[in-house]
Amino acid sequence: MYGGADSAALVVWWLAPTGGNLGDAPVIRTTRRWSGMWAAGWRLSPGMTTIGLIGSGHIGGTVARLAVAAGHDVVLSNSRGPETLQELVAELGPGARAGTPDEAARAGDLVVVTIPLKAYRSVPVEPLAGKVVIDTNNYYPERDGQFAELDDDSTTSSELLQHHLPTSRVVKAFNNIYFAHLRSLARPSGAADRSALAIAGDDAAAKATVVEFLDTIGYDAVDAGSLAEGGRRFQPGTPAYGGMYAAKDGNFWELPGVPFDAASLRALLG
Ligand SMILES: NC(=O)c1ccc[n+]([C@@H]2O[C@H](COP(=O)([O-])OP(=O)(O)OC[C@H]3O[C@@H](n4cnc5c(N)ncnc54)[C@H](OP(=O)(O)O)[C@@H]3O)[C@@H](O)[C@H]2O)c1
Quote the mean pLDDT of the chain: 86
What is the 78 CA–ligand 1 centroid distance (Å)? 8
The predicted model gives 10-37 an average pLDDT of 32
What is the 191 CA–ligand 1 centroid distance (Å)? 30
Question: Residues 202-206: contacts with CB within 8 Å, 24+ apart?
Answer: 202/162, 202/169, 202/170, 202/226, 202/227, 203/132, 203/169, 203/171, 205/169, 206/132, 206/169, 206/170, 206/171
Q: Nearest residue CA, atom 37 of ligand 1?
A: 78
Q: Nearest residue CA, atom 5 of ligand 1?
A: 178
pTM, rounded to two decimals = 0.88
Confidence of residue 48 (pLDDT cuts 50, 70, 90): low
Q: What percent of the chain has pLDDT over 70?
A: 82
Find the domain containing 114 and state its range: 4-269
Can you tell me which atom of ligand 1 is nearest the CA of 56? Answer: 43
Q: Read off the CATH number of the domain in which 76 is found.
A: 3.40.50.720
For residues 208-220, one letter each, b for 16 or more C-beta atoms within 10 angstroms of the residue's C-beta and e for the rest, the string is: ebbbebbbbbbbb
Quick one: pLDDT at residue 248? 84
Tens digits of residue pLDDT in 213-256: 999 999 999 999 999 999 999 999 999 999 999 998 878 888 99
Q: How far apart are CA 159 and CA 230, in angstroms?
A: 11
The predicted model gives 88-103 an average pLDDT of 98
Tens digits of residue pLDDT in 56-83: 999 999 999 999 999 999 999 999 999 9
The predicted model gives 149-172 an average pLDDT of 98
Say how many domains are in the chain: 1
Predicted confidence (pLDDT) at residue 108 exceeds the cutoff of 90: yes
